[in-house]
Amino acid sequence: MRIPTKSLTSLFTLTGKPLARTLCTATETRTQKLERIADEIRDLTKLERYDYSVLWRHKMGLNKYGPAISGLGPSAASGSGAGSGEEAKAAEKSAFDLKLEKYDAAAKIKIIKEVRTFTDLGLKEAKELVEKVPVVLKKSLTKEEAEPILAKLKELGATVVLE
């Protein structure tokens, strides 16, 4: 994506003053600084706000390819194979995805109705979702939240798994 140079230069001169002069003075409090920045951003045009958001994401390393720094954490960087089994037990999975793998064609309508009860989907969206089998119906559920849904769908004739 190419951003016009003129719009980028306008970002650096918010409200007609160079950006360096509009930054926090020694006497300005943190709240005043944040309010001033919010007011300046609010006064930008839509194109300037878009350019600003692109520039902000780029400066923060949040582009479409993910975070700029994706390295190993301190526990993985140690390289010891003996402690990895203990770490895996400590980091036990707490969030699960509910995945519909297959279902009986005769129970399709009942399954669609049940999917609508635990998702906020309309009839059409729930039908399209169920027809995309295999599909994740709900993400980041706890074990306690997933069990009743899992039992109900299995009772209706669906094959459902927690991932």
User: Which tens digit of pLDDT belongs to each residue from 125-158?
Assistant: 888 888 888 888 888 888 888 888 888 888 888 8
Token representation of residue 58:
């780029």
Separation CA 123–CA 117 (nearest Å): 11
- Residues 108-128, mean pLDDT to the nearest whole number: 87
pTM for the full predicted model: 0.43
What percent of the chain shows pLDDT beyond 70? 65
Q: Where are the domains of the chain?
A: 5-67, 96-162
Q: Of the candidates 131, 98, 99, 96, which has an alpha carbon nearest to the alpha carbon of residue 112?
A: 131
pLDDT surpasses 60 at 108: yes
Spell out the residues 6+ positions from residue 11 whose beta carbon is closer than 8 angstroms to its own: 48, 51, 52, 55
Q: How does pLDDT run across 74-95, given as a tens digit for each residue? A: 444 444 444 555 555 445 677 8
Q: Which fold has domain 96-162?
A: Ribosomal Protein L30; Chain: A, (3.30.1390)
